[in-house]
Structure 1
Amino acid sequence: MKRLRNMLALLAMAATPVGAQQAEAPSGPTLTAFECGTLVQPDLGRFSDTMRFAGERRELIAGCFLIRHSKGVLLWDTGLSPAIQREPQDGMTLTTRIAERLAALGLAPADVTHVGISHYHADHTGGAADFPKAELLIGKADWDRVRSFKRGDPQRDQLAPWLAGGAVTPVEGDRDIFGDGSAVMLAMPGHTPGHSALLVRLPDAGPVLISGDQFHFRENREVGGVPTFNVDRTDTLASHDRFEGIARALGARVVIQHDPRDMAALPPFPASLE
């Protein structure tokens, strides 16, 4: 009889608590995309050193991405500075701070465990200082460049919490952020010395390849354009090849962070890809 009672107790534990745990546990990482500012470009000529797109005007956006994982929360790029919300400038506007986006998802800034930066340009690091307790992940060559900037340079000031001693990992090569291949920083130098793209593997939606500034809009990707302001043309072209090779090999969905069309094709905030 005692043996029977023990068996029944074990069966009850298996049926109820484990089932409840399965309902609560995430089935896998999720990806939520949202706008972190808009940038009007009055002349796209500088986005290709072969003189394409000269004279074309276009509105681009600053795309930000939140990857929720059982091991942490990764914020990929942080868009424009909150100061622009108060005072738009140079064709740049910001309507909603990242903290407000997080609140809509039931999260606080302190819940962000990692801030991943594709590169040090100000339209990708603008909101970073709102997450001083997170671990900063940035290409080592970019981090070295940031450290060389003088005080007052926004590309330095926006990363001040980590320059002052916050947890920072200067990434050399690729980095598997959570250790299971679900979110991988990919070294794509050329736009800046330590520029990175991000590969996210989702259980249902599959692989998603997020561009950083490897490309700024679809048409420039189609022609493999190299912006005049990139630091190294040869590295840029090699990174173009790598980016496209990974996209083909994995059948990945490509998201160009600055292209409103690619962002609009993702589930509208606050919905997520899973």
Structure 2
Amino acid sequence: MTDIRLYMFQTGHLNLKVHNIKMNEGNGADYRIPVPFFLLTHPKGHTLIDGGIAVEAARDPAKYWGPVSEVFKIEMDESEGCIEQIEKLGIKPEDIRFALFSHLHLDHTGSVGRIPTATHIVQRSEFEYAKNPDWYAAGAYIRDDIDRSDINWHFLEGVEDDFYDVYGDGTLTTVFTPGHAPGHMSVMLNLPNTGPLLLTIDAAYTTDHWEERSLPGFVSSAVDAVRSVQKLRALADKTEAMVVTGHDPDEWSKLKKAPDFYS
């Protein structure tokens, strides 16, 4: 598979509360969100964008995630692991050249270390924070995901590496969007037929965040979170990009899922 395609997947769902997604909203109401990840196929080697929930967490949430599993309740079968799903497309882990991480929260790191030959791309500030987070953020980072041996990490340096062009051809560009996490990145894709497609990831969980009606339920900086959305909105307006938010159950249901793809 050497043509450029974007596949959208999900590693099950998380059951939580509205206020976990929309700050101070919902009055304790339940909320169910998809947990996406993405695969970009490319002639120069494929890129896995995030990795959803680790299969170890699906197998035994309490053991692998600890107390946070009582807040973010996993609804996932082991067959929905990221590697298990891409293999159904005939793509092997060794076919993946890059593993790109928007950030290192527990619902994005399911592929860390499962693609041993890939270069793992992440913001240095995010990697360092994940190793020593502030007390209120500690539950969002699973050290068993991150502390895996023999990983080839490639660190980006915040604004110095803003709009980092992974392939050097404009197909996949990272956008530094801190706020939800200190080293959060969104992703801009330029696909041959679809054109520009912006993955906000968790810079905007839902259209409410994107349209500036709600703050994310979890932030490292509310100010940075707001400004990152403004930055992405300006980019989307300029490029007329298709926008895909991070965990919006209504919007996610309208998108093509693997084995269908965007090209």
Please classify the TM superposition score into its range, dividing by the shorter chain length. Answer: 0.7 to 0.9
- What is the CA distance between 1:147 and its match in structure 2? 3.4
- Please say if 1:37 is aligned against 2:19: no
Structure 2: gaps of 5 or more residues = 62-68, 134-138
**Measured at CA, do residues 244 and 102 of structure 1 come closer, stay the same or move farther in structure 2, by a change above 3 Å?**
same
- Please say if 1:186 is aligned against 2:175: yes
Question: Aligned residue for 1:258?
Answer: 247
- What is the CA distance between 1:83 and its match in structure 2? 1.7
Question: Aligned residue for 1:115?
Answer: 99
SS at match of 1:269: coil
Question: Aligned residue for 1:217?
Answer: 206
The AA in structure 2 aligned to 1:254 is V
Q: In the comparison of the two structures, how many residue pairs are matched?
A: 245
- What is the CA distance between 1:239 and its match in structure 2? 0.4
Select which of 237, 253, 257 maps to 1:268.
Answer: 257
- Please say if 1:47 is aligned against 2:32: no
Q: Distance in 2 between matches of 1:228 and 1:35?
A: 21
- Please say if 1:170 is aligned against 2:155: yes
Select which of 157, 166, 180 maps to 2:144.
Answer: 157
Q: What is the alpha-carbon root mean square deviation over aligned residues?
A: 2.4
The AA in structure 2 aligned to 1:53 is G
- Please say if 1:85 is aligned against 2:62: no
- Could you give the per-residue CA deviations for residues 41-86 of structure 1, whole angstroms, max 9, x where no partner exists? 2x2124344x333433221011010000111110001011102332
- What is the CA distance between 1:241 and its match in structure 2? 0.5
Question: Aligned residue for 1:231?
Answer: 220
Q: Distance in 2 between matches of 1:254 and 1:25?
A: 25
Answer whether contact 1:33 1:263 (CA < 8 A) is retained: no
- What is the CA distance between 1:153 and its match in structure 2? 8.7
Q: Describe how 1:236-255 pairs up with structure 2 within 5 A.
A: 236-255=225-244
Q: Distance in 2 between matches of 1:166 and 1:127?
A: 11
- Could you give the per-residue CA deviations for residues 163-191 of structure 1, whole angstroms, max 9, x where no partner exists? x4421111123311111111011100111
TM, length-normalised to structure 1? 0.82
Question: Aligned residue for 2:112?
Answer: 128
- Please say if 1:94 is aligned against 2:76: yes
- What is the CA distance between 1:223 and its match in structure 2? 2.8
SS at match of 1:176: coil
Q: Distance in 1 between matches of 2:130 and 2:98?
A: 18
TM, length-normalised to structure 2? 0.85
The AA in structure 1 aligned to 2:81 is R
Answer whether contact 2:15 2:31 (CA < 8 A) is retained: yes
Answer whether contact 1:46 1:54 (CA < 8 A) is retained: no
Answer whether contact 1:115 1:135 (CA < 8 A) is retained: yes
Question: Aligned residue for 2:196?
Answer: 207
Select which of 47, 66, 78 maps to 2:39.
Answer: 66
**Measured at CA, do residues 133 and 188 of structure 1 come closer, stay the same or move farther in structure 2, by a change above 3 Å?**
same
- What is the CA distance between 1:132 and its match in structure 2? 2.3
Select which of 49, 66, 70 maps to 1:76.
Answer: 49
Larger Rg: 1
Q: Distance in 1 between matches of 2:127 and 2:96?
A: 20
SS at match of 1:210: strand
Structure 1: gaps of 5 or more residues = 1-23
Select which of 56, 66, 89 maps to 1:105.
Answer: 89
The AA in structure 2 aligned to 1:237 is V
Q: Distance in 2 between matches of 1:63 and 1:188?
A: 18
Instruction: Kindly report structure 1 stretches of 4+ aligned residues shifted beyond 4 Å.
Output: none
* More off after superposition, 233-242 vs 165-174: 165-174
Q: Distance in 1 between matches of 2:243 and 2:26?
A: 22
SS at match of 2:41: strand
Answer whether contact 1:224 1:240 (CA < 8 A) is retained: no
